[in-house]
Structure 1
Amino acid sequence: MPKRSKPLTAKQIENAKPKGKDYSLPDGGGLGLVVTSKGSKLWRMRPRFGGKYIVLSFGEYPHVSLAQARQKRDEAKKLIAEGKDPRLAKKEQQTAKQETVFSFERLTRKLIESKKDKVTAGYLNQFVGGMEKHIFPVIGDRDIREIEGRELLDLFMSISRKQNNKGNPMTYIAHKACQWSAEVFDFASIEIPGFYLNPCRAVIKHLPEHKHEKTKRIPFSQVGAFIRALDDFGGYPTTRAAIWMLLYTGMRQASVRRAEWTDFDLNAAIWNRKPEKRDENIHVLPLPVQAVRMLESLKPISGQNRLVFPSEYANEKPIPFSDATITKAIKGMGFDMTGHGLRGVVTTGLNELSKQKKVFIRMGIDKSVVETQIGHIVHGVAGRYDDSKYLETRRKMMQVWADYLDKLGKNG
């Protein structure tokens, strides 16, 4: 006779701490609480149906309480006894709930459709991904008019207590989730007559403060050693080329990652960089001779693809973001710097050269020219450098910079 599990208590659940790997605490009747290595507590049940074991998910604690999980377990056992698959019953129930005219998910999906031509694809993907991962599983099928501030605070607080892949609290995602949800509530005030409530505006004031991590970058004195290490880099060619592109242009990783071959005119040594962040226009970037040479050498590898710097695992996908590829490569070379840190290296280097090099002074290069080159928005009178006639001035500046990098790589 199988051993009966002793029912869990609320205290046991609260005291359950993450370990090196996921583990389960049985409650009885097939119900268990899976405690993941990152601290999430998920209700699971593994009953037999149709002669084999199936897995049922009942949500995450504390959003789904012990009593609620047991109720779901009992409902599943009843369906099985009637010869019904609980998974299909759950899907049918979710479909019925999502058809609620004013469900949170339904309104969010409608908002997303309305934003498609107004925001970047990257922002929209982040919005949708965040909602699907953190918000919809908890309140997606709820009528937005019934969602209260207290449960939203509990939801966002639970997100902030989770850990990201660096082991840090996910306070940033908690704030973003609250901001995204606030947009949905604002949208609901347009869609639902007489509805003006937006509890997110009060809730966000009570979330833990997000502490921005300072971008790591190497001191300029180490750039020569970095270039020599990059010359010896034995990793995937597109990763190495992407790092060079960051050095030659000072652009953000997002721009380099999604660069397409059609964006480049190598005969004219031009990169027509797509708009990023608050940009409204294509940013015309002059390319030094070294960058053109590097891109030409990359054509046999990725020239048949849409993307210039594709992932080594999938040609139609860009290389993964910094921590997955570029930052990992840099750290593998022995330098404590993120991929975004290279942008700071370029900015620092160009500003230093503009002070020291007589050739820069003769060309009329100052901080404003540098800011325009790296894509910062230049306000006021300095905005005159946005005019395309300064392209040749920036071309000379970036060639001096690329030549200087070569010199550093040879002489340290």
Structure 2
Amino acid sequence: MPILSDAKVRALKPMDKPYKRADFDGLFVLVNPNGSKLWRFKYRWMKKEKLLSFGKYPNLSLKQAREKRDAARKQLAEGKDPSFVRKKEKEREEAQHRETFGKLADALLEKKRKEGKSAATLAKTEWLHALLCADLGSYPISQLSARDVLVPLKKMEAKGRNESALRMRSAAGQIFRHAIALGLIDNDPTFGLRDALSRTPVKHRSAILDPEKVGGLLRAIEEFDGQPTTRIALQLLAMTALRPGELRMAEWAEIDLEKAIWTVPAHRAKMRRAHLIPLSDQALGKIYELQELTGWGQFLFPSIRSSKRCMSENTLNAALRRMGYSGDEMTAHGFRATFSTLANESGLWSADAIERALAHVAGNEIRKAYARGAYWDERVRIASWWASYLQQLADSNGQQ
């Protein structure tokens, strides 16, 4: 039977010296001369007597003290030292309060840098983190709830920037999962926000898909009166179906004129895998023309302001606008859709080879390994056919 009752504990009076009154199973209350009554739990661990403090009466009732004692005895039965468990829990709580959302965001960004993420990816991540940290950065990450995270997301959504809000949610989720990996929290609160934001209909990048209109576009590019390097960039974009960023940042070291291969290194490729592009005779001709203009430097397409930087990301789309093509008609990225559509519609080539030409990744590791080499010969033929087909469209006003 319990020795103590709530009434007995309440009736205990201070004496000149501290004294104890036992309950049972190691629990007792320590009464100090100043009148404080402190709950203690006495137990043995590794043949040594140890004490664990539970709290102060009446802030901690007799019932609550017994519950803490029972929990400690359960830990002992599981082979755990309650004092050590308490110490680790305290350290974790202190770390949770030290580790703010902003600190974890910075740590994740640094991790991405060390992993060799592209400059564009790092810049976008840093931008998203700044938007999130404006509202969340100073708070301990362990105290943030889904409702807290929703605040900056809804602000962005209210501006009509739904896609940015969705990207912010994804970026926040990465930060919370990084904290989970570090043992700071147990759950990602953004998981419950998957349906909290409105999704705008996907708008594909504009592209010209009609052969006759493609011919008109190619003639407009040939007659472009701006920078020669911009004209050549658009012509090579059409022939190679490269991503605009991969083309703009290309370096001369990536071009093997003898083998007629252009290699986009893994650190610049979107899928983080090196991408080889077979060069047709027409593409080689454009590269030789470009070599006379920029072959002395690092980049195929240097900025007009500094040869140490590549062409601006706005240059190609600005050139298309200058030719009279609106953003709803054609974009620099649209050349990929033009190639994909017309190459598939030709019925001459396998869909897999066309996908490889676009540097799209197969869905499983075995197929990816096979696809890297199996379609090379076909891709060489596709490159030659495509360049000749484009020339035919430009020469014949698109009539086949």
One fold, TM greater than 0.5?
yes
Deviation, structure 1 residue 384: 7.8
Contact 2:102 2:137 in 1 (8 A): yes
Deviations 1:22-74 (A, max 9, x none): xxxxxxxxxxxxxxxxxxxxxxxxxxxxxxxxxxxxxxxxxxxxxxxxxxxxx
Unaligned stretches of 5+ residues in structure 1: 1-99, 163-168
CA distance in 1: counterparts of 2:123 and 2:295, whole angstroms:
27
Identity over the aligned pairs, expressed in percent?
Answer: 24
Helix, strand or coil: the match of 1:285? Answer: strand
Deviation, structure 1 residue 337: 0.8
CA distance in 1: counterparts of 2:147 and 2:369, whole angstroms:
51
Deviation, structure 1 residue 346: 1.0
Helix, strand or coil: the match of 1:136? Answer: helix
266, 289, 295: which one aligns with 1:297: 289
Distance 1:379 1:214, change over 3 A: closer
196, 202, 207: which one aligns with 2:186: 196
343, 350, 363: which one aligns with 1:350: 343
CA distance in 2: counterparts of 1:388 and 1:206, whole angstroms:
44
Deviations 1:191-221 (A, max 9, x none): 354x224222223421121322122112232
Deviation, structure 1 residue 227: 0.9
CA distance in 2: counterparts of 1:374 and 1:198, whole angstroms:
35
CA distance in 1: counterparts of 2:105 and 2:367, whole angstroms:
41
Residue 312 of structure 1 aligns with which residue? 304
CA distance in 1: counterparts of 2:393 and 2:203, whole angstroms:
29
154, 160, 169: which one aligns with 2:151: 154
Residue 202 of structure 2 aligns with which residue? 212
326, 333, 338: which one aligns with 1:340: 333
Residue 126 of structure 1 aligns with which residue? 124
Distance 1:158 1:384, change over 3 A: closer
CA distance in 1: counterparts of 2:302 and 2:216, whole angstroms:
27
Contact 2:269 2:275 in 1 (8 A): no
Counterpart of 1:129 in structure 2: which amino acid? W
When the two structures are superposed, what TM-score results if normalisation uses the length of structure 2? 0.67
Distance 1:396 1:178, change over 3 A: same
Deviation, structure 1 residue 367: 2.1
When the two structures are superposed, what TM-score results if normalisation uses the length of structure 1? 0.65
Residue 385 of structure 2 aligns with which residue? 400
Contact 1:250 1:343 in 2 (8 A): yes
CA distance in 1: counterparts of 2:108 and 2:362, whole angstroms:
32
Distance 1:147 1:390, change over 3 A: closer
134, 137, 141: which one aligns with 1:140: 137
251, 255, 270: which one aligns with 1:260: 251
Residue 357 of structure 2 aligns with which residue? 373
Deviations 1:257-307 (A, max 9, x none): 222111110121101122366635322211011111211222243323322
Deviation, structure 1 residue 153: 1.0
319, 330, 334: which one aligns with 1:329: 319
Distance 1:215 1:266, change over 3 A: same
CA distance in 1: counterparts of 2:340 and 2:297, whole angstroms:
31
Deviations 1:330-386 (A, max 9, x none): 132123211111111111222233x2xxxx5xxxx3222222222122457976863
For structure 1, which segment, 230-239 or 379-388, has the greater mean C-alpha deviation from structure 2 after superposition? 379-388
- The answer to whether the aligner puts 1:281 opposite 2:270 as a matched pair is no
Q: CA RMSD in A?
A: 2.5
Residue 113 of structure 1 aligns with which residue? 110
Contact 2:162 2:199 in 1 (8 A): yes
- The answer to whether the aligner puts 1:238 opposite 2:229 as a matched pair is yes
**Aligned pairs, how many?**
294
Residue 410 of structure 1 aligns with which residue? 395
Helix, strand or coil: the match of 2:149? Answer: helix
Helix, strand or coil: the match of 1:233? Answer: coil
Unaligned stretches of 5+ residues in structure 2: 1-96
Contact 1:372 1:385 in 2 (8 A): no
Residue 12 of structure 2 aligns with which residue? none
Contact 1:236 1:312 in 2 (8 A): no
